[in-house]
Amino acid sequence: MFLKPCYRTRQGKRHAYWALVESLRTARGPRHRVVAYLGQMNESARRGVKAAAGQAGASTLFDQTGGSCAEVDVRKVRVERCLDFGGPWLGWEILKKLDLLDVLDKIMPSGREEIPWPLMAAVLVLCRLCEPSSELRLVEHLYKQTALADLLGVPADKINEHRVYRALDHVVFHKEALQTFLKNQVGHLFDLKYDLLLYDMTSTYFEGQANANPKAQRGYSRDHRGDCKQVCIALVVSREGIPVGYETFAGNRADVTTVQEIVQTMEDRYGRADRIWVMDRGMVSQDNMEFLREGGRRYIVGTPKGMLRQFERHLLSQPWQSIREGLEVQLVPSPDGQETYILCRSADRGRKEQAMHERFERRIEKGLREMEESCCKRKYKLVTVAKRLGRLLGHNSRAAGLFETDVVVGPDGGARVVWHKAEAWRKWAQLSEGCYLLRSNVKDWSAQELWEAYIQLTQAEAAFRVHKSDLSIRPIWHHKENRVDAHILVCFLAYVVWKTLGLMCKRAGLGDEPRRVLDELSRIKVVDVVLQTRGGTEIRRRCVTRPDDHQAILLQHLGLNLPEYLPLTDEKPTPTENKTSAM
């Protein structure tokens, strides 16, 4: 330890204030840590402090838990530097549980950077988890509002826009290694099996033209933002919703064209184990089914609604097996015996589809009657009325098949609308409402097991909802392709932390609501308590607010120990006269 002067100019004069500083070895090299601010001192006082420092280390000279007493002026007790602590601390504990920093240290080579890139990657992930926002807002506001500087040892003045963007550029090159490591690590921590892989796709849109990114294209938008360019994200998760891997595609890429590429990528990465692929009907094509069968892969997939027509006889006469209240299934073998079709009928879904058919039927009928009245009052061209009719049926396509329509020439030479209802369509709609069809080549599972495996696709849909709502993956403000990929990778890493917290909650009997736990613990703060003694010196302690009963129960169930104090860092107000820090 040694004494270090801190200079401050007051009223045109330069004053020296002294601090007792300790030299430490860290992963980033030697660093100085302030043990105590001592204020202004004459030469004899400095010699006395140096002598005491030479005889005792910082831990004994200024011990937080020691039994020393001092008289405090209660009128001058104050708190400073109140920062968010619970959320960043919880995320940091999960990162340590996952050993993410260790693997980043191994795969990201160190260079001449002042702040290691693994720590910068941790900053990006934790901010995305706790309060997702743009990188610019992270630099200007978010980092300074949290206790990440105390947890990571990275001062707030070192977090700048240039360093954050360079961290994105560095971490994106290790996308595949990070996916593989986290899949194995989470599986090891919670004894998970990856025998069932759920595959689905979504899209996320850009703000701006993104002309520098060839993947930014206009296509089918799940966000209902067809006016914006977008990229598509293909995600593979386990039955528990743990992400196995993801890929990004151009925004105009059709879902069905990605299946073979994704399956091959996952097999190259993890091997061709005996896994079952689960996909919805948007992934099904003849080529894809042949690809899965030729490789000996097992699958459970949805089918287009039109295939139900082939099973009309089974809908009418075959017995159904009830697997839960309001849900019935039956197994129908394929003619060649290679597959099994799972015919499902849901009472809730049937009522919903019936209500939709009735609503759209009323809309179409009302529109047709208005068109009849309009044609009687005014002479229209056939093309004009045909366009109006097409728009009406297109906007209400759910019940368009019920109406047989035509546009003819009336007695006055104008267009007339002729229509009637096709009762055969109504009978089929009533029979098939609430029904859907699955297909699989898994032979040793029951109807209930096959249906339950397919329903696990909701885990992939839930993952997309978390990405878009809780982690704010949309909209994307970056324009370069590698920055977009890095943004999605950071969201992927934050989602792994999210799911790890969910599994911890589930194991602890707290349900599967990580957002509620994160919100509850995020109310915990860290503050600097400043006590002024009667002798004029100030004692400073960095205290973590005491958790309330609910928070304490959560921490106990999760097996986490909240610290009571944090060591003081160099990020402090300018020392004032006769100020002392209690370490």
Looking at residue 127, its pLDDT comes to: 95
Give 344's contacts (C-beta < 8 A, 6+ positions apart).
327, 328, 329, 435, 436, 437, 438, 451
Distance, CA of 521 to CA of 7 (rounded, Å): 40
Q: What is the pLDDT along the chain (583 residues), one digit of tens a residue?
A: 778 787 777 777 777 777 888 777 665 666 777 777 777 777 766 676 666 666 544 444 444 434 457 788 888 889 999 999 999 999 999 999 999 999 999 998 888 888 999 999 999 999 999 999 999 999 999 999 999 999 998 999 999 999 999 999 999 999 999 999 999 999 999 999 899 999 999 999 999 888 989 999 999 999 999 999 999 999 999 999 999 999 999 999 999 999 999 999 999 999 888 899 999 999 999 999 999 999 899 999 999 888 998 888 888 877 888 988 999 999 998 888 889 999 999 999 999 999 999 999 999 999 999 999 999 999 999 999 999 999 999 999 999 999 999 999 988 889 999 999 999 999 999 999 999 999 999 988 998 999 999 999 999 999 999 999 999 999 999 989 999 999 999 999 999 999 999 999 999 999 888 999 999 999 999 999 998 887 778 888 899 999 999 999 999 999 999 999 888 864 443 333 334 444 3
Query: CATH says 192-305+441-479 is which class?
Result: alpha beta
pTM, full prediction: 0.81
Three-state DSSP at 536 gives coil
What tens digit of pLDDT does each residue of 200-249 get?
999 999 998 889 899 999 999 999 999 999 999 999 999 999 999 999 99
What tens digit of pLDDT does each residue of 411-446 get?
888 999 999 999 999 999 999 999 999 999 998 899
Question: Terminal CA-to-CA distance of the chain, rounded, Å?
Answer: 14
**Contact (Cβ atoms closer than 8 angstroms) between residue 425 and residue 397:** no
Residue 454, Cβ density class (10 Å: 0-12 exposed, 13-18 middle, ≥19 buried): buried
Distance, CA of 486 to CA of 464 (rounded, Å): 17
Packed helices 481-507 and 161-171: angle between N→C axes, nearest 10 degrees: 80
Phi, psi of 220 (to 5 degrees): -65, 120
**Contact (Cβ atoms closer than 8 angstroms) between residue 130 and residue 448:** no
Q: Which two tokens stand for residue 93?
A: 């504990």
SS (H, E, C) 304-326: CHHHHHHHHHHHHHCCCEEEECC
Distance, CA of 517 to CA of 524 (rounded, Å): 12
Q: Which two tokens stand for residue 416?
A: 């007339």
Give 3's contacts (C-beta < 8 A, 6+ positions apart).
18, 19, 20, 21, 38, 46, 49, 50, 53
Q: In angstroms, what CA-CA distances link 153 with 33, 138, 470, 562, 567? A: 11, 17, 27, 18, 11
User: For residue 529, what are the β-bridge partners?
Assistant: 79, 541
Distance, CA of 199 to CA of 31 (rounded, Å): 48
What are the structural domain ranges in the chain?
1-69, 84-174+481-541, 192-305+441-479, 349-432
- Torsion of Cα atoms, 570 then 572 then 578 then 583, to 10°: -60
Distance, CA of 142 to CA of 173 (rounded, Å): 26
One-letter amino acid at 541 equals R
Distance, CA of 246 to CA of 265 (rounded, Å): 10
Give 80's contacts (C-beta < 8 A, 6+ positions apart).
527, 528, 530, 573
**Contact (Cβ atoms closer than 8 angstroms) between residue 115 and residue 199:** no
Q: In angstroms, what CA-CA distances link 68 with 34, 62, 63, 362, 462? A: 20, 10, 9, 83, 55
One-letter amino acid at 430 equals Q
Pairing of strands 276-279, 298-302: parallel
Angle at 257 between CA 256 and CA 259, to 5 degrees: 75
